[in-house]
Amino acid sequence: MTHQKFLNQCLELANESVKNGDHPFGSVIVLDGKVVASSANEVVTLGDVTAHAELRVVQKAQQVFESEELARSVLYTSTEPCPMCAGAIYWAEIDHVVFGCSQEQLYSIVRGGLELKAHDVFKTGARQIKVEDFSSDYRFIKQHKDFWTK
Amino acid sequence: MTHQKFLNQCLELANESVKNGDHPFGSVIVLDGKVVASSANEVVTLGDVTAHAELRVVQKAQQVFESEELARSVLYTSTEPCPMCAGAIYWAEIDHVVFGCSQEQLYSIVRGGLELKAHDVFKTGARQIKVEDFSSDYRFIKQHKDFWTK
């Protein structure tokens, strides 16, 4: 139930991305039940291919968090993180990730990315990261279908 | 010979990182034989765990390059890119990477990172990326030995 609330916020951020001319991805970081940082995808807006929602939300969270707090937080994201973002999450020492649309679902709609699951990046690290998959919730893949196939 | 010249510049940038209180990593992007962007590791200086040399150099290069130019450029780096940076290189559509110290060499000295080779990230993508390994040049691993074991 709590997960759903924060995943819904990611969906809303992803919708905002589209309104801004960006791609539909959104992410929030939650500490002690409160959102402390959020970001939509800003690749087009910032003219920066690295401005994925998860990388940006990690960068923003660092400005308000001590690293010990970041380590206790949960990162929610509308779509499973790509390897770049999984790496950023690892370096930030966040150890809990919850995502909506899975990579398999995303790449069934739009190709061209790195088809390497977040878990497969994380498992090469020295620290365990818990990953929860909410891809059975149809709204997350629908958001991509509506955007990429319109 | 040309590769050596740009790898030397990465070594110098990595040395500068250390002088600034950062970790020894440096990277340059070269187009038509000229360095068009460079970055040292800036993790400590910027208080940003994502400020690895390669991610930063990609971000900087985007400010001066058209994406078509970025696609024709070569990224040189003193140490093999981590998965986060390999992802950034992929999204920037750079298709040629030359590195000094390998991940195996780095992780024989200091642990705790994501032990996933750049090639193993790139091979999951839709585009081929050429990776050249200059880890037989002892200077690159020596730089890490001097830093992490002192």
Q: Do B88 and A49 touch (CB under 8 A)?
A: yes
- What pLDDT does B1 receive? 64
Check residue B117 and give its pLDDT.
Answer: 98
Bigger pLDDT: A121 or A70? A121
Cα B42 from Cα B63, distance rounded (Å) = 18
Q: What ipTM, to 2 d.p.?
A: 0.96
Of A50, A63, A121, the CB nearest to B116: A121
Nearest to B50 among A58, A125, A126 (CB): A58
pLDDT of residue A23: 96
Are the Cβ atoms of A114 and B92 closer than 8 angstroms? no
Active site amino acids of A:
54
**For residues A104-124, average pLDDT:** 96
| In contact, A27 and A53? CB cutoff 8 Å | yes
Best of A90, A114, A115, A120 to substitute, by most chain B Cβ atoms within 10 angstroms, is A114
Residue among B47, B88, B122 whose CB faces A62 most closely: B47
Assess contact for B144 and B79: CB atoms under 8 A: yes
> Tokens standing for B39?
């970055």
B85–A87: do the CB atoms touch at under 8 Å? Answer: yes
Strand partners, A74: A30
Q: Which residues of A touch B49 (CB under 8 A)?
A: 58, 62, 88, 91-93
Judge: B121–A116 Cβ closer than 8 Å, yes or no.
yes
Residues of B in contact with A113 (CB under 8 A): 125-126
Q: How many CB pairs under 8 A join A and B?
A: 101
Give the model confidence (pLDDT) of A21-78 as tens digits. 999 999 999 999 999 999 999 999 999 999 999 999 999 999 888 888 888 999 999 9
Please give the residue of chain B at the shortest CA–CA distance from A113. B125
**A112 contacts B83? CB cut-off 8 A:** no
Residue B112: closest C-alpha in chain A:
A126
Q: How far, in Å, are A10, A54, A101, A132, B99 from residue A80 at the CA level?
A: 12, 10, 6, 10, 29
Give A3→chain B minimum CA distance, Å. 26
Which DSSP string corresponds to chain B? -HHHHHHHHHHHHHHHHHHTTS-S-EEEEEETTEEEEEEE--HHHHT-TT--HHHHHHHHHHHH--HHHHHT-EEEEEEPPPHHHHHHHHHTT--EEEEEE-HHHHHTT---S----HHHHHTTSSS--EEEE-TTSHHHHHHHHHHHT-
Query: Which residue stretches of chain B have pLDDT < 50?
Result: none
- How much is the pLDDT for B80? 98
Gap between the Cα atoms of B116 and B82, Å rounded: 7
Is A50's CB within 8 Å of B88's CB?
Answer: yes
* Euclidean distance between CA atoms B34 and B127, whole angstroms: 24
A38 sits in which H/E element = strand A34-40
Residue A70, SS3 per DSSP: helix
Note the pLDDT of residue A7: 98
Yes or no: say if A131 and A119 are a contact pair by the CB < 8 Å rule. yes
The secondary element (H helix, E strand) that includes residue A88 is helix A83-91
Of A48, A86, A111, the CB nearest to B126: A111
Task: Write down the pLDDT at residue A55.
Answer: 98
**Are B113 and A121 within 8 A, CB to CB?**
no
* Residue A115 with chain B: CB contacts under 8 Å: 124-125
Give dist(CA A62, CA A92) in Å, integer.
8
What's the pTM value of the predicted model, to 2 decimals? 0.97
pLDDT confidence of residue A65: 86
